[in-house]
Amino acid sequence: MEPGDTVIDATAGNGHDTLYLAGLTGEHGRVIAIDIQETAVAAARQRITNAGQKNVDFQLQSHADPWPVPPQTVKAVMFNLGYLPGSDRTTTTAAETTRIALQHAEEALQDGGIITVISYRGHPGGAEEEAAVRNWCESLAEGDFQTLRHVADEKHESSPVLFVIRKQAALDRELAVNSEPTEKTETIELDRFLKMAQLASSGGQAKHLIRSGEIQVNGEVETRRGRKLRHGDVVTASGEDYVIETDA
Ligand SMILES: C[S@@+](CC[C@H](N)C(=O)[O-])C[C@H]1O[C@@H](n2cnc3c(N)ncnc32)[C@H](O)[C@@H]1O
């Protein structure tokens, strides 16, 4: 995200996330903060006013209702599902309306944009809602979106789950489709890339994980196509930007 971007907080609540987004997008950017409850919008508005931010528009509506933005104009959408902390918990997000809202988010997102969802499974309906988000992620076209699902604590069934969904930039989509592997390069998906990055660094020889376009493999790693990569080989992650630099 950059100053000047338009972003959406799809569950404004007490406004903590809204404030975070307002800071990132700056005075020339715009945050649209949606919540279905008047108490939430009032609390979020107060937080934003206290912080002196002026770039937030509040929408008192369900996020399942149409969004007030043209298609493909939004850089990021944030969902923090569940109920309003400190409330009587009677109003919570729900699988069906969340699924519709995710659809709105997909339509609103510009190339290279990102959707984040935090889903809680400990309250009634929470596990079903998390499954609905997971199913929706799986329904996205593989070449157009990259998705990541992270469980905060695998040992606990009701641990919160973070989803990150990134819409590929047009150029990345083209590269993913058209790039032919050369003798030493292969285009791979984000989850595979991250696993390889882990493998490459597990020998303890990785110097840093830095933002860039390639991974230098340390030791032998087998790719999905069954190609064996050796130390010094270069793997480009489609649309992603991480690199492992090894010591050698
Ligand atoms: C966990 S809270 C959000 C916390 C918030 N992001 C913050 O920083 O404080 C979830 C919020 O979702 C809202 N909500 C529930 N159903 C909704 C719906 N259909 N559309 C929009 N907001 C909804 C609730 O009113 C509640 O404020």
Q: Which residue is closest in CA terms to ligand 1's atom 12?
A: 11
Q: Is residue 238 part of a domain?
A: yes
Eight-class DSSP state of 92? B
Q: Is residue 190 part of a domain?
A: yes
Q: Are residues 46 and 120 in the same domain?
A: yes
- Residue-range definition of the domain harbouring residue 197: 179-246
pLDDT at 230: 52
**CA dist., res. 209 & res. 214, Å (int):** 11
Q: Are residues 188 and 236 in the same domain?
A: yes
Q: Are residues 222 and 150 in the same domain?
A: no
Q: Is residue 30 part of a domain?
A: yes
78 touches ligand 1 (CB under 6 Å): no
Q: Which residue is closest in CA terms to ligand 1's atom 25?
A: 37
- Ligand 1 binding pocket mutation candidate from 7, 35, 56, 161 (most atoms within 8 A of CB): 35
pLDDT at 198: 52
84 touches ligand 1 (CB under 6 Å): yes
> Mean pLDDT in each 10-residue stretch from start to end of the chain (248 residues)?
93 97 95 98 98 97 97 97 92 97 97 95 96 95 85 89 85 42 47 52 34 44 50 46 35
pLDDT at 149: 93
pLDDT at 2: 84
Q: How far is the centre of ligand 1, averaged over its atoms, from the C-alpha of 153 (Å)?
A: 23
Q: How far is the centre of ligand 1, averaged over its atoms, from the C-alpha of 15 (Å)?
A: 10
Exposed e or buried b per residue across 20-49, where buried means at least 16 C-beta atoms within 10 angstroms of its C-beta: ebbebbeeebbbbbbbbbeebbebbbebbe
pLDDT at 153: 86
pLDDT at 194: 53
> For the whole model, what pTM was predicted?
0.74
**CA distances to 56, 142, 185, 214 from 197, in Å:** 38, 21, 15, 10
pLDDT at 228: 53
- Strand ranges inside the chain, DSSP E: 6-9, 30-35, 56-60, 74-80, 109-119, 145-151, 161-167, 187-188, 206-211, 214-216, 221-222, 228-229, 234-237, 242-246
Residues with Cβ within 8 Å of 57's Cβ and at least 6 positions away in sequence, in order, are 30, 31, 32, 33, 68
Q: Which residue is closest in CA terms to ligand 1's atom 19?
A: 62
Q: Which amino acid is at 64?
A: A
Q: Are residues 12 and 111 in the same domain?
A: yes
Q: Which residue is closest in CA terms to ligand 1's atom 3?
A: 13
187-188 β-sheet, strand order: 187-188, 234-237, 214-216
Q: How far is the centre of ligand 1, averaged over its atoms, from the C-alpha of 52 (Å)?
A: 22
Considering its fold, how many domains does the chain have in total?
2
Two tokens, residue 108: 């609103």
Sign of the Cα torsion 215, 217, 221, 223 reads positive
Q: Are residues 201 and 225 in the same domain?
A: yes
DSSP per position, 40-91? HHHHHHHHHHHTT---EEEEES-TTSPPSS-TT-EEEEEEE-SB-TTS-S--
> Can you tell me which atom of ligand 1 is nearest the CA of 120?
1
Q: Are residues 70 and 155 in the same domain?
A: yes
Q: Is residue 1 part of a domain?
A: no
